[in-house]
Amino acid sequence: SDLQKQEERGELLQPLIFVLLVLCSVLLYFKVSLMDPGFVKPEEEEDENKGQGVVIPQIPGDIKLRRCGYCLVKQPMRAKHCQLCQHCVRRYDHHCPWLENCVGERNHPLFIVYLSVQLVALLWGGHVAWSGLYFEQSWEWLQHNIFLLVSFLLIFIFTIVVLLLLVSHLYLISCNTTTWEFMSHHRISYLRHSELENPFDQGIILNLWRFFC
């Protein structure tokens, strides 16, 4: 049969891989959106503060860790309170409205993996949509291909958004900084009073290694 011939030629393998890629993207979405991004718990205050003091010796000693005015926990270095999640988040990056969750210390690496998988799926889908377009200057052709054109336009827009988001995050990770620290550098005490522009930067390779590994 035609199905068997397609299977022998390997033509069914690509659609299967694409479906698995989309499924992986969906599972990653739910994993990142539902997991604990690194909420600071009251019983972890002492351990967190000791750990931060060892990792970041460059921070001036006169900067004291403050107690959060919302949840009343002592904030570790690089933590921030998210008013939407009602928690302080360790190594806070940003609150993602698409995920309805914060991106922080625990789920940030998975967030990058999710963006990467999503970008591959979008590029693949865009290629499929583009390969199905055969342009003709006629109203009849436009009527028959309007759905494909709209699909390609949406895929193109989402691809640009995801690509820019992924590149910006990889750049910040390579510098060992977060979106919040990058955008609010002048308002964060441990950055504003530091002699170094970025006291957490330990070189691109070590920054990437510590983030992903």
**Tokens read off for 205:** 């390779």
Q: Point out the catalytic residue in the list 71, 96, 102, 175.
A: 96
Tell me whether residue 65 is exposed, middle or buried, using C-beta atoms within 10 angstroms of its C-beta: 0 to 12, 13 to 18, 19 or more.
middle
SS3 of 125, please? helix
102 alpha-carbon distance from chain centroid: 10
Question: How many CB atoms are closer than 10 A to CB 178?
Answer: 23
Count of residues making up the chain: 213
Q: Is 24 a known active-site residue? A: no
Residues with catalytic roles: 96
